[in-house]
A = this chain, B = another copy of it.
Amino acid sequence: MVNNENNQSVNPSKNFVLPFILLLLSRVSLHGYELSQKLQAFGFKSIDQGNLYRLLRKLEADELVSSEWDTTGNGPAKRKYSITKAGITYLKGYANQLETYQSMLDQFFSMYSSFLELYIPSFSTRDSIEKKSSQKRRNDDGKEE
């Protein structure tokens, strides 16, 4: 799933949750259960717990994250995940993919507005849809290497 070389899939539908995980871990170390909650707050309404834990072990095997047991605090032991250098590199790559994804959504809604005008003629006189339209943030991912 995480490809060794930079042939990251261009299809945005693949592994959508992955960049969010890496982004969250880039700020602070978290364990799986916390991640699950933060992802829900992000808008992921149905992350499968089992698959999330499996994914984290896979990411660790691919060395995008590292983990250690956290026995402090209450409750059962937690496996605390941190992002690695390789993980940060991948985060940047995934962010680029998500940008193209976002521009596809912009195009979708631009065309979708026209569709609504066709089907609901009164629609164009309403101001509830403000087109975010064309992508401005572009061609700069903050590379410094």
A contact residues vs B (CB 8 Å cutoff): 9-17, 19-20, 23, 26-27, 42-46, 88, 91, 95, 98-105, 107-109, 111-112, 114-116, 119-120, 122-123, 126, 128-132, 135-137, 139-140, 142, 144
Contacts and interface: CB of A to CB of B under 8 A. Distances in A.
Contacts of A26: 115
Please list the 10 inter-chain residue pairs (A to B) with the smallest Cβ-Cβ separation, ordered nearest first: A13-B16, A128-B140, A116-B142, A43-B104, A10-B45, A130-B136, A102-B105, A120-B142, A120-B144, A129-B137
A137 B99 CA distance: 19
14 contacts: A9-B46, A10-B45, A11-B46, A13-B15, A23-B108, A27-B114, A43-B107, A91-B115, A95-B108, A116-B142, A123-B142, A129-B140, A132-B135, A132-B136
Contacts of A98: 105, 108-109
